[in-house]
């Protein structure tokens, strides 16, 4: 396992489930001191060695206290979904739902605005976009718009934060608890969703986490978006 993470402190927001949890586990295995946090503040599975705390990334006061409690840190990953995601045609959409989808963006911007003051020299941040940011499909306007905003935010922030680095990872469809379906319905959902990924299966949270570790440890990468998406952008339609 990589050793660049020995002696480093990493905070993973949204780190109790899915992509965030997989990232927290890989970082801990690579030797980092890891704090994983979410609103619930407990992990989906037993992970000795990972410290867990509760914070809502939309609560700026609580986030400020959180970073005072746990900073300074070398690495900050925010993989929190933030809240609900609206789907459906825009002209028929409940606009409150559409605006509610931006909770993810506000959670990310809060964490960079507040956590940015607690980064150690040489530190790095990673946010999570998603393939609909650059692949538009019917019903996904809210997710596409928010993903675009996350990617634009990363590009815009890289010069301001330098030499601290900031990047985004953009996953394809990943089999995580974000999707509540169970049993055969889940299987169908994942198969339908990945029909047009070049790699014809859903991704694993750990595959995205490996991309995140690359972005954290490679000191020559900033202001970029790494697609870990099974070729979703290149596939038709
Ligand atoms: N899975 C996919 O196919 C996919 C594809 C493209 C992009 N993404 C993106 O990848 C990221 C991670 O998704 P995932 O699939 O790993 O989802 P997940 O398994 O549902 O995990 C989401 C995590 O975010 C935390 N969270 C949600 N709202 C929060 C808030 N307001 N404050 C603090 N923590 C919060 C959740 O815990 P609590 O509920 O306890 O707060 C949980 O730990 C998201 O940005 C998602 O949009 C996912």
Cα of 13 from ligand 1 centre, angstroms: 9
In a domain, 73, yes or no: yes
pLDDT of residue 1: 46
In a domain, 233, yes or no: no
Cα of 68 from ligand 1 centre, angstroms: 23
Categorize the per-residue pLDDT at 235 as very low, low, confident or very high, splitting at 50, 70 and 90: confident
pLDDT of residue 116: 98
In a domain, 124, yes or no: yes
Closest residue by CA, ligand 1 atom 18: 178
Return the structure tokens found at 188: 């169908």
CATH number of the domain at 140, please.
3.40.50.720
What is the domain count for the chain?
1
Cα of 176 from ligand 1 centre, angstroms: 9
Closest residue by CA, ligand 1 atom 40: 40
pLDDT of residue 3: 61
Ligand 1 atom closest to residue 103's alpha carbon, by position in its atom list: 31
In a domain, 234, yes or no: no
pLDDT at 91 over 80: yes
Residue 35, φ and ψ in degrees, nearest 5: -115, 120
In a domain, 2, yes or no: no
Ligand 1 atom closest to residue 171's alpha carbon, by position in its atom list: 6
Q: What is the mean pLDDT of residues 80-106?
A: 95
Rounded Cα gap, residues 10 and 34, in angstroms = 5
Provide the Cα torsion 83, 88, 94, 95; round to 10°.
70
Q: What is the mean pLDDT of residues 165-183?
A: 97
Rounded Cα gap, residues 53 and 55, in angstroms = 7
In a domain, 67, yes or no: yes
Q: Please indicate, yes or no, whether the overall pTM of this predicted structure exceeds 0.85.
A: yes
In a domain, 222, yes or no: yes
Rounded Cα gap, residues 59 and 172, in angstroms = 29
Q: What is the mean pLDDT of residues 41-69?
A: 95
pLDDT at 22 over 60: yes
> Which helix (H) or strand (E) is 165 found in, with range?
strand 165-171
Return the structure tokens found at 154: 């990363």
pLDDT of residue 114: 98
pLDDT at 84 over 90: no
Q: Are 236 and 196 in contact (CB under 8 A)?
A: yes
Ligand 1 atom closest to residue 83's alpha carbon, by position in its atom list: 28
Structural domain span for residue 97: 9-227
Q: Which residues line ligand 1 (CB under 6 A)?
A: 13-14, 16-20, 38-40, 56-58, 79-83, 104, 107, 128, 130, 171, 173-174, 176-178
In a domain, 181, yes or no: yes
Q: What is the mean pLDDT of residues 201-227?
A: 98
């Amino acid at each position: 396992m990589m050793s660049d993470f020995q002696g480093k402190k990493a905070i993973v927001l949204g780190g109790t489930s899915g992509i965030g949890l997989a990232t927290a586990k890989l970082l801990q295995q690579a030797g980092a001191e890891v704090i994983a946090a979410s609103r619930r503040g407990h992990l989906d599975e037993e992970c000795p060695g990972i410290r867990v705390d509760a914070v809502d990334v939309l609560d700026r006061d609580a986030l400020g206290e959180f970073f005072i409690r746990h900073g300074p840190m070398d690495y900050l990953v925010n993989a929190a979904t933030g809240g609900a995601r609206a789907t459906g045609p825009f002209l028929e959409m409940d606009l409150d739902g559409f605006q509610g989808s931006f909770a993810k963006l506000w959670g990310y911007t809060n964490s960079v605005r507040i956590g940015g003051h607690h980064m150690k020299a040489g530190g790095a941040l990673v946010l999570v976009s998603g393939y609909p940011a650059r692949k538009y499909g019917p019903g996904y306007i809210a997710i596409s718009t928010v993903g675009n905003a996350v990617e634009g935010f990363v590009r815009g922030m890289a010069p301001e934060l330098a030499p601290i680095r900031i990047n985004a990872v953009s996953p394809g469809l990943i089999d995580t608890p974000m999707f509540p379906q169970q049993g055969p319905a889940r299987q169908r959902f994942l198969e339908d969703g990945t029909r047009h990924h070049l790699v014809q299966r859903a991704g694993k949270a750990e595959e995205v986490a490996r991309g995140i570790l690359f972005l954290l440890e490679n000191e020559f990468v900033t202001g970029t978006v790494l697609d870990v998406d099974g070729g979703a952008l290149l596939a038709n339609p």
